[in-house]
Amino acid sequence: MPTALAALEEAYTRRGAPPAAPTGDRTLVVGYVGADVPVELLTAAGVRAVRLTGDPDSGSAPGDRYLGRGVDPAASSVLTRLLAGSFGGLDRVVVSHDCEASLRLFYALRELRRVEPGTGLPEVYLVDILHLPHRTTALYNRRRIGEFAARLEAWTGRPLDVAGAVAAHDERRRLLAAVAELRRAVPARLTGRQFLAVANAALPVDEHIALLERLLAEAGQLGEHPGRRVFLSGSDHDTPHVYEAVESEGYVIVGEDHSFGELFLREPVGAGGLDALAEHYHHGGPTAHRATVSERAAHAARAVRHCRAELFVAYSRIGDEAPAWDFPAQRAALDIPAVLLERQEYGRADLTALRKEHPCAV
């Protein structure tokens, strides 16, 4: 039997593909995009859920045609893959309003389905969660969560087990937080690339929980990774390319603040109802697209201390400039060196500035 880490890494290679189902299984397959999709409700509905990801190694011309070149190329890549049928037989696509690129992807999918039905795109639904610190925003979000729950019930023809799903996802968060402590050890017991795989393994939540429990039980068998400790801030990383590039230089990524990493493991939902879910997503982690500069700087300072990072690296993709705006305040709040990798290509890392200012021998 492979180790739990090997099994999780293998499952990570299947990201973007619906979980395997028995022959004849007609369970609804729902792809989703964005950090604000309440995945607990997808689990509660009993659908097979898959977070859609891009592919930096494939062209994105079809997606660029509809979204333009000024949008985060990760969104264009997801659209290109949807148009090509790369995600298999999706029955629905759910998109959240976690950033401008996700919202534009939703509008493009909705219009393409309307005016070009030959594309074969599935029905698309928007979960429009907002993050302003107002009671009216909280009420708005509660209505949106309720509408999404009702739509899932209409799609599946069955009531949702919200309490059970929330409990399962909270348990997964708890276990992933414990796994994150292995990466924060000195020396680190997991690389950043390994943690990315562990956190984003393409598995149903119950199977994911079982493998996380095994991984923690096998922690004594893990190696040590003594490279220079990096906290990675900025753009999302829906593929391992940038992590692999950074860590190939002798660094080890011990923390990050994007939605495919540790940022969204901090707080459980707690109560198993729609009110608690709405509050949870209203107060999600301080990403570059929805938090103030001061909030981002304060979070960076706390997170860097927590993971005992030695170097802060801010990564900002072409078409995703928001992280670069935060960098001056983040650097001022830190007591470790910081470097900005700006206007990076999707899935690529030009490490010239890193090598020049903060070299690390492999």
| Statement: residue 361 has pLDDT above 60 | no
Q: Look at residues 147, 145, 55, 64 and name the one whose alpha carbon lies nearest to residue 108.
A: 64
Q: Are 253 and 247 in contact (CB under 8 A)?
A: yes
Does residue 360 surpass a pLDDT of 60?
yes
- Residue 35 to residue 58: CA distance in whole angstroms: 23
What is the signed CA dihedral for 144, 148, 154, 156, rounded to 10 degrees?
Answer: -170
Which one-letter DSSP state was computed for residue 122?
A: P
Alpha-carbon distance values, 107 to 67, 104, 344 (Å): 9, 5, 26
pLDDT above 60: residue 23: no
What are the chain's domains? 4-156 (3.40.50.11890)
- Give the residue among 152, 136, 132 at the shortest CA–CA distance from 48: 152
Tokens of 287: 């990403």
The model's pTM: 0.95
Detail the DSSP E strand segments found in 165-248.
228-234
Residue 13: is its pLDDT beyond 70? Answer: yes
* Residue (of 91, 112, 96) closest to 34 by Cα position: 96
Q: Per-residue confidence at 267, pLDDT binned at 50, 70, 90? A: confident
The answer for residues whose C-beta is within 8 angstroms of residue 13's C-beta and 6 or more apart is: none
As separate numbers, helices (DSSP H) first and strands (DSSP E) second, the chain gives 14, 8
Do residues 169 and 38 make contact, with C-beta atoms less than 8 angstroms apart? no
In the chain, pLDDT over 90 holds for what percent of residues?
84
pLDDT (0 to 100) of residue 21: 60
Q: Is 273 helix (H, G, I), strand (E, B) or coil?
A: coil
Distances (CA, A) of 68 to 63, 154, 325: 8, 34, 22
pLDDT digits (tens, 9 = 90+) for 173-231: 999 999 999 999 999 999 999 999 999 999 999 999 999 999 999 999 999 999 999 99
pLDDT at 78 (0 to 100):
97
* pLDDT for the residue numbered 118: 87
Mean predicted confidence (pLDDT) in 67-73: 92
User: What number is the average pLDDT over the span 268-277?
Assistant: 90
